Structure 1
């Protein structure tokens, strides 16, 4: 039976908050407004810990405020920073798979692009049947019957590593293209690496003459992480993105 301190029964607000997640917060590139996804110019950070919310707001701007979610990270901070220095503990902190999620929120298809990878899936190790070209994979994912990149980066803030680990989850195809070189760079560092996590603006004109602008997450490796944190210098963006992976 779980033990509790009854001293907090009469003052429940003083009871330390506990969270099941191994992460103190998430970095997000967008939000839902009126049921529609909206891309942001700067990082949105969500957390379930008011102290973490206050700390990231002090570092990067914004105000912790509640948002509608069934998850633990019930506070959001709309920061003014589109670029943040982070510490990544090696290549294992950056993971990749292709995934298609079902109505329950769990993946019904998880693969590496060639074979099924979920150990609990009876198809584990068998060919996944995904299209062979990236263009075809994108089309299948857009149509809702194929997996898309399911990539996760775990890191600590260079300016406040004591807060704990944060996580970025992204379905960006652009980020997927950078993964192999990113893993090599992190491996070459041989330990915790100082990196910049940024939302990079991409602009181009399609063959039909349509102007497109969106932001993609980019992780840039600088070298070994210093044991001393530097003052935070947020990078502010002035351009509105009309499309970006969350």
Structure 2
């Protein structure tokens, strides 16, 4: 297994200072060797045109992955005020600062209530980090996927604890209305 900094799985970023979103998974490999392994798995994959030197556009909206072990799923909630963390919890207990760690944080139990408070600027938002390996390339090492999506939080919170092999999916979702637009929604399910 490759040792060193983790590679990333994502579907957008910044290019020339401008944000972009892809309908396909992008893998930012930590090394040229890992990038070569990725390209050999997905022959349709091509070098990403917007990111770093080892970005691979997989040309697929589904990735089979495995959790790397205990602690591979991290779900935290953070509220930022004036460029500082004003509230940091796991949805039930404070995680920081040290003087509050382990005490009840006061967040409501339901995702909908939390989301409402976050939209009003008085509640924290999800910070989700998954540590994964690719099902088809276990020797490619560790990969990280990060999301702040409330929908993704809903998917992660209902995953069975026994699910070690998962499928990351990207789904285009259209919002109707006067300024209708399409956004890409990440989700995760047990792999079948």
Above 0.5 in TM-score?
yes
C-alpha spacing 1:111/1:196, structure 2 compared with 1 (3 Å) = same
In terms of fraction of residues, the more helix-rich structure is 1
Partner of 1:163: 140
1:131-142 to 2 correspondences below 5 Å: 133-140=113-120
User: Does structure 2 conserve the Cα–Cα contact (< 8 Å) formed by 1:97 and 1:149?
Assistant: yes
Alignment of 1:41 with 2:12, yes or no, is: no
| Runs ≥4 residues deviating over 3 A | 64-68, 89-92, 100-104, 106-109, 126-132
State the superposition RMSD in angstroms.
3.2
How does the TM-score come out when normalised to structure 1?
Answer: 0.63
Tell which structure's C-alpha radius of gyration is larger. 1
Partner of 1:112: 90
User: Which residue, 197, 200, 209 being the options, matches 2:168?
Assistant: 197
Aligned length: 186
User: Which residue, 146, 163, 172 being the options, matches 2:149?
Assistant: 172
C-alpha spacing 1:40/1:215, structure 2 compared with 1 (3 Å) = same
In terms of fraction of residues, the more strand-rich structure is 2
Query: What SS is found at the alignment partner of 1:41?
Result: strand
How big is the shift at 1:64? 6.4
**Matches of 2:147 and 2:91, distance apart in 1:** 17
How does the TM-score come out when normalised to structure 2?
Answer: 0.78
Partner of 1:87: 66
Query: What SS is found at the alignment partner of 2:102?
Result: coil
